[in-house]
Homo-oligomer: A and B are copies of this chain.
Amino acid sequence: MTAEIITIGDEILIGQTVDTNSTFIAKEFNKIGLSINRISSIKDAEVDILNTLQRSVNCSDIVIVTGGLGPTNDDITKNTLLKFFNDKLITDRNVLDNIKFLWKKYIKQPLLQVNIDQSLVPSKAHVFINNNGSAPGLWMTKDKTTFIFLPGVPFEMKALIKHSVIPKILKEFSLPHILHKTILTYGMGESSIAEKIKEWEDNLPVDISFAYLPSLGRVKLRLSTKGVDLSKITANIQFQIDKLIPLIKDVFVGYEEDESIQKLISNRLIKNNSTISLAESFTGGKIADSLVSIIGASTFFKGSLVCYSTESKKNILKIDEDIIKKHTVVSSHVVESMAIKVKEMFSSDYGLATTGNAGPDKGDSDKEIGTVYIGIATPKEVYSFEFNFGNSRERVTQKSVNKSFELLLKELLKN
C-alpha cells in the first residue's frame, strides 16, 4: 500500500506559505502503516490538477489532495474533479445543515449563496462532514486508486484526517505497521558519528533503514522498518538500538518519539518535582514558547522574563550595574547573574538564562557577533558556557535555543 499527497495552491509555489499540511498528513499516515512515496505541490490551474491526478491513477493506492475547495473564484478543485471523474454536482442535505449550523453558532454573519453552494458535492463521492468549515471532505475512486479531497485550511484538514479519513482507511484497507525510532545526539558532526558506528551500520539487516539528519549542532539518527507483526519489528529495532547506544554514549541525549528534547526535559522536571524559570535576552521568548507548547507545562514552568534591553536586565532582573560595566552585558558573569536572579524572582528550582549578540549590529557589547552565553542556576550551583555560533541572526538564535535545551537536559540527567 502506497500513498501520495498533492497540495493545490499558488501560495506554496510562490513561497508565501510553508506546506505544513503535508508534514501532518505524512506523520499521521505513517502511524497507521501507510508510506508516502511522493508529495507534489501544484498550481490552482485546471491542466496542472488534471495531469497530476491522472498520473497518480494506479500508481498510488491512496492520494490525498488538499486545497482549492473554498467558496471564492480562485478555488477550482471541485469543478476540475467533476471533469476528472466525469461526474455532476448534487446538493448534500447533511452538508447544508452543517453549514447553517456553523454560520448560526460561530460565524454570525449572513449566509451567502457562495456559502450555500459549498453543499454541492460530486454525486459519486462519499462525503465527510467538516465540523470546522463549509467545505466537506470527499472520498472518490478511479480504477484502483482512492482519491481523498480535503480543504487546505490546516485545522479543518487536520480534524478531517483524524476523525474521518483515518477511520475509513483503517476500515477499508489492511495495513502493516511502520516503525521509526529517532535518536537525538548533540555536539558531534554526522561524518564523525558515521565513522564511530560504521561497523554497526554496515551490519544492519536490509529491512531496517538508517538515516542521519543534521541540523544546527545536533544530529538525529533514525531507524525505520515495516512489518505486520508489531512486537517483532519493535524487538528488531530495539535490538539494533541496544547495540548502537554504547557506541555514541558521549553525544546521546535521548529519543525523539513524537516529541522532542523539550518533552524529555519536561518529563524529567515533572519526575523530579522541579520547576524552572527563564531569563531570555536575544532568544526573545523562543525558549519559553517551546516549553509552554508542551501540555502540562504549568506544573514545571514558572515563567520567563524576556529582558531584551540592558535597561531591563538592570531595572527588572536587578543585575548589578558594576558587573555589566566591568564585563559587558554579553558575558559569563552577567548570564550567571541572570540565571540566579530569575530563579529567585520566580521562586523556581532552576534558572536558565541567555545573553548574546545575534547580529546584525553589535548592540551594547564589544563581543563578536555570534557570541552567546548560556547560564544555568541549579539548586546547588551556577555555571555558564560561551559559544560562537557565527552569523545570521536566525541561525545564531536557533542554535542557542537548541544548545540551551541540550545543556539543560544534561543538567537534569545528573540526578
User: Is the CB of A107 closer than 8 A to any CB of chain B?
Assistant: yes
- Shortest Cβ distance from residue A390 to the other chain B in the assembled complex, whole angstroms: 7
| B residues in contact with A107, CB < 8 Å | 189
- Pick from B35, B74, B213: contact of A212, CB under 8 Å: B74
B302 touches A305 (CB 8 A): no
B41 touches A13 (CB 8 A): no
Distance of A107 Cα from B189 Cα, bound (Å): 8
Distance of A282 Cα from B294 Cα, bound (Å): 11
User: Is the CB of A112 closer than 8 A to any CB of chain B?
Assistant: yes
A25-33, A89-97, A136-144, A229-237: which lies at the interface: A25-33
B74 touches A14 (CB 8 A): no
- Shortest Cβ distance from residue A363 to the other chain B in the assembled complex, whole angstroms: 7
A23 touches B27 (CB 8 A): no
| B residues in contact with A304, CB < 8 Å | 284-285, 304-306, 308
Distance of A107 Cα from B188 Cα, bound (Å): 9
A295 touches B23 (CB 8 A): no
- Shortest Cβ distance from residue A169 to the other chain B in the assembled complex, whole angstroms: 16
B37 touches A22 (CB 8 A): no
Distance of A190 Cα from B156 Cα, bound (Å): 15
A70 touches B222 (CB 8 A): no
| B residues in contact with A82, CB < 8 Å | none
User: Is the CB of A210 closer than 8 A to any CB of chain B?
Assistant: yes
User: Is the CB of A238 closer than 8 A to any CB of chain B?
Assistant: no
- Pick from B14, B30, B291, B302: contact of A224, CB under 8 Å: B14
Distance of A59 Cα from B25 Cα, bound (Å): 29
User: Is the CB of A192 closer than 8 A to any CB of chain B?
Assistant: yes
Query: Given the interface contacts A23-B19, A70-B214, does A285 sit within 8 Å of B295 by beta carbon?
Result: no
CB-CB nearest in chain B for A115: B191
- How many interface residues does chain A have, given as a range? 35 or more
A210 touches B74 (CB 8 A): yes
> Interface centre among A22, A188, A303, A390, by most B CB within 10 Å?
A303
Q: Hey, what's the 0/1 contact readout for A37-66 against B, CB within 8 Å counting as 1?
A: 111111110001000000000000000000
Residues 150 to 192 of chain A near chain B (Cβ within 8 Å):
153-155, 178, 180, 182, 188-192
Distance of A149 Cα from B309 Cα, bound (Å): 42
- Shortest Cβ distance from residue A18 to the other chain B in the assembled complex, whole angstroms: 5
Distance of A403 Cα from B79 Cα, bound (Å): 34
Distance of A195 Cα from B153 Cα, bound (Å): 20
CB-CB nearest in chain B for A291: B284
Distance of A169 Cα from B80 Cα, bound (Å): 35
Residues 343 to 400 of chain A near chain B (Cβ within 8 Å):
345-347, 360, 363, 390, 392-395
B153 touches A214 (CB 8 A): yes
| B residues in contact with A287, CB < 8 Å | 285
A285 touches B288 (CB 8 A): yes
A155 touches B392 (CB 8 A): yes
- Shortest Cβ distance from residue A25 to the other chain B in the assembled complex, whole angstroms: 7
Distance of A155 Cα from B393 Cα, bound (Å): 11
| B residues in contact with A74, CB < 8 Å | 209-212
A310-318, A320-328, A331-339: which lies at the interface: A310-318
A298 touches B308 (CB 8 A): yes
Query: Given the interface contacts A40-B39, A70-B214, does A303 sit within 8 Å of B303 by beta carbon?
Result: no
| B residues in contact with A270, CB < 8 Å | none
9 A-B pairs (CB sep. < 8 Å): A13-B35, A15-B30, A17-B23, A37-B42, A72-B212, A74-B209, A115-B191, A285-B286, A286-B289
The 8 closest A-B pairs by CB, nearest first: A284-B292, A285-B285, A15-B27, A285-B288, A15-B26, A304-B306, A39-B41, A285-B289
